[in-house]
Amino acid sequence: MLNITDIRINKIEGDEKLRAFAALVLDDCFLVGDLRVVEGEDGYFVAMPSRRKRDGSFKDIAYPLNNALREEIEEKVLLAYETATGHKALSRIERGEASVVRPDLLGVEEFGFTPKSGS
């Protein structure tokens, strides 16, 4: 698993659903920015960095390739958000309703990488 060594939270005021931007520092040497803490109808969740496509839809440009990592990132970012803002944000995770990997996201093979086999 990745070692998340720092999480930076930038609170957003005045937006209907967007509550903060977050950035992850991995192993003290790689930063992934533009994660978004969003308050949805079912509670808070973390949206991965994305880019608007020509047709107006959005495509995630950085994201975990498995549910375990997605859940770990979401939990750590929401805990950091709670610490930074004082707002409770973990209700979905506490209820066991963590997010799932979306089927429209590219898998590692689609980027041309071959996953290492367990040997």
CA–CA gap between residue 73 and residue 114 (Å, rounded)? 23
pLDDT surpassing 70 at residue 74: yes
Contacts of 87 (CB under 8 A, 6+ apart): 19, 81
**Domains, the chain, with CATH or none:** 4-103 (3.30.1120.40)
pLDDT at res. 20: 96
Between β-strands 58-60 and 50-52, what pairing exists: parallel, antiparallel or unpaired?
antiparallel
Q: Please give the DSSP secondary-structure letter assigned to residue 115.
A: P
pLDDT at res. 103: 44
**Nearest alpha carbon to residue 20 among 72, 86, 68, 70:** 86
Span 23-71, pLDDT tens digits: 999 999 999 999 999 998 888 999 999 999 999 998 999 988 888 889 9
Q: Which residue matches tokens 């903060």?
A: 20
The proportion of the chain whose per-residue pLDDT surpasses 70, expressed as a percent, equals 75
